[in-house]
Structures are given as structure tokens and as C-alpha cells.
Amino acid sequence: MNNSIFSKYNDDSKTNEKKGTTMKRCNITFIILMIFSMLMFYNVPSQATTNVGTAGAQFLKIGPGARVESLGGTFSAIANDVTTIYWNPAGLSQLKKTNFSDTHTLWIADIQYNYLAFATSIENVGTLGGSVTFLNVPDIEITTLAKPDGTGLMYSAWDSAVSLAYSRQLYEKDSGAKLSFGVNTKYIHQQIHREKATGVALDVGTLYHTGWRSLRIGMSFSNFGPEMSFSGPDLETGVEEAGDERNAEYHPFPDTTNPARKAELKTIEYPLPSNFRLGIAYDLIDSDTNLLTIALDGNHPNDNSERINFGIEYWYKRTAAIRAGYKLRLGPDSRDDEEGPTIGLGIHHKFSETRLSLDYSFADFGYLRQAHRISLGLNF
């Protein structure tokens, strides 16, 4: 009997020692990542603001998902709905069913922004997803030096992006630790009147469940790709040719007295708005009735100073949610930043095996007024 008691004591000691070792490793990993985050996002050199406004394709910086926006854009470590294609493609590995989401945003200056996303899980393959982003500006009247008040003609401008994403869980341990990887490729198109620019970009992300309670760590790098530039017929200059259909609408009688000479204005190439994102998420309360999650994301963009985002989400019976967030700009230009607090609501309702979600968010942009988002989601 003494031997059995002694053996049981040894087994319990080994189990506790193993748990303690796992917890220590998770704590060490967490501490290292936090130190790295503070060093990267707190000690911001003055040179960090020299690239402000240098990147193009700014519509790629508008985050989709009313839920995420109400959390202040803190989603790289939560990453558990289909909009994670944008925030951290590794999060797609958490989706075990077919998911669909549609976000409509009333952006500043009457700009309309729409985002459609779809994802489905394939056994032994991973999770595949895709998204379509479309932004359009209200028609604007064309002005010239001769007619600064307007010519009576209108032009339009719009941006779009189509992406394909893939994610897979790389491993899962008995301790609960698991690591996922994801990638998202996108085709980008911008158009102003008859001038356009096209390009491609790549997003890469990882999601790590530490195995210590509910602590998750997410990292992603967005919009990595070659520079883009505009081209089009309105950049051409020189003497018109007879019968040039391109100008027939505006100049029905082209000048043909001189030999045709043509030149094209060359536009400057601009980089994409790339961003490195590092975030953590933790469930303070997780029961059948209540779920309270806090999250923090640090952002390191190539065309602005660093930003830290905070978010908190409370679910009651997994059916009704209230959310709040805050976006904090670091560096000397932080006082000029118009972004700040965000709030939102959400509701989930199940119809048999189908879950319908409806989310709303409100963001205050100071002098630029407000932005409203509405998202509709299906999980089946």
C-alpha cells in the first residue's frame, strides 16, 4: 500500500511539474512578445513620420466588419469570423463551417465601401476563402483652367480588390497549444475617370493558441507587393490625329494642320500601404452565460506612425454582444489623429443549423464626422 501511495505521489508530482513547465514556457513566450511589442511600438523615432502620406491604394486600410471596427480594429488574435481574411488570414483555420459576410460602410465624405467575404472548410486540406472589396466616390464635376466653376461633365472614381485566401492548422498539442498559418493573395484595381492602376499584394499571418487558459497571439503582415502607377488616355498629350475617336466627344474637329506628335505624361510609382500587426486576446470570463474578451493590437504601417488599438467584447448567452474600442496613435503626430473611440452592438440567432449574425459599429472621426458600418453574416 505504501508503494502504491508513493507511486501515486510521483505521478501527481510529474503531472504538476509538466503543467508548471508548460505554464512557465507560455509565460516566458508571452513576456518576450510583450517586451518586443513595447520596444517596437513605444520607442518611436522621429523619422517614423517622414513617410506619412507616401503610400497609395488607401482604400486597403479601411477595415471590414462592423464587429471588428467596434473593437477598435483589434482582431489579429481573436480572428474567429470570416472577415479575418483581411485582418489575419491564419484565423480562417478556426472556421469549421461555411461562412459568409457582407459589410456596408457609410464612410466619410459620402464614400460608399462594401466588403463581401466567403470561406469554407475542407477536410484534410484546410480552409479556403475569398473576398471582394469595392469603394466608390460620388461623381465629381470636371473643372478646367478655362472653366474653374465646372464644365458640366462628370467623372467617377472607384477602387476594388479581389482576394483568395488559404489557412491551415499546423499542429495541436495535448496542452491546448496550437499554431495556424494563413496566406491571402489579392488583385488590386484603382480607377479615376479613364486612368487606372493595377497591382497584386500578399498577406501572411500566424495565430498561436498558447495553451495557457485562453491566451491567443496573432501576427500578420498585410499588403506586401510591388509599387503601382496610373496610366490612361488622359495622360497623353500632343497634336491630335484626324479621326481620333478618343477625343471626338470633346473635340469633333481635331487639328490636322501639323504632323501628329504624341507624348505621355509619366506618373510616379507609389508603394502599397503595408502594415505589420501583432496582437493578443484573452477571455476574462468564459461561462455558458457570459463571455468577456479583451484584446490589444499594435500596428506598424509604412506610411504613418505606429498605433495601438484596444478592444473589449461582452457576449450574453452567445446571442447578444456589446463592444467598445479605442485607437491610439503614437508619435509626435498623435494630436492630429482624428480616430479614437468606437462602439458597437451585435446579435446572433440560430435557425436549425444556420446562424445569422447582425452587427453595427459607430466610429467618431472628429472633424471628419462619423462612420457607420453594418455587417450581415451567415454560418451554415
Which pLDDT belongs to residue 95?
A: 95
Instruction: Look up the pTM and report it.
Output: 0.80
Which pLDDT belongs to residue 299?
A: 95
pLDDT in tens, 208-256: 999 999 999 999 999 999 999 998 888 877 644 444 455 555 555 555 5
Structural domains present in the chain: 44-227+273-379 (2.40.160.60), 232-266 (no CATH)
Burial of 196 from C-beta contacts in 10 A (0-12 / 13-18 / 19+): middle
Q: Judge contact between 299 and 310, C-beta under 8 A.
A: no
The closest alpha carbon to 277, from 37, 113, 46, 107, belongs to 37
Residue 39 C-alpha cell reads as 520596444
pLDDT in tens, 243-292: 445 555 555 555 555 555 567 788 889 999 999 999 999 999 999 999 99
How much is the mean pLDDT over the chain? Answer: 84
| Nearest-angstrom CA–CA distance, 273 and 57 | 7
| Nearest-angstrom CA–CA distance, 265 and 263 | 7
The closest alpha carbon to 119, from 144, 70, 84, belongs to 84
pLDDT in tens, 99-154: 999 999 988 888 899 999 999 999 999 999 999 999 999 888 888 888 888 888 88
Task: Give the 3-state DSSP-derived string for 161-212, with helices as H, strands as E and coil as C.
Answer: EEEEEEEEEEEECCCCCEEEEEEEEEEEEEEECCEEEEEEEEEEEEEEECCC
Each residue of 2-22: b (16+ CB within 10 Å) or e? eeeeeeeeeeeeeeeeeeeeb
Q: Judge contact between 88 and 182, C-beta under 8 A.
A: yes
Q: Judge contact between 377 and 101, C-beta under 8 A.
A: yes
Residue 68 C-alpha cell reads as 471588428
DSSP 238-252: EPPPTT-GGGTTT-S
pLDDT band, very low/low/confident/very high, at 39 (cuts 50, 70, 90): very low
Residue 214 C-alpha cell reads as 485562453
| Nearest-angstrom CA–CA distance, 364 and 70 | 11
Which pLDDT belongs to residue 334?
A: 63
DSSP 50-99: TTTT----GGGGS---HHHHHTTT--TTT--STTHHHH-GGGGGG--S-E
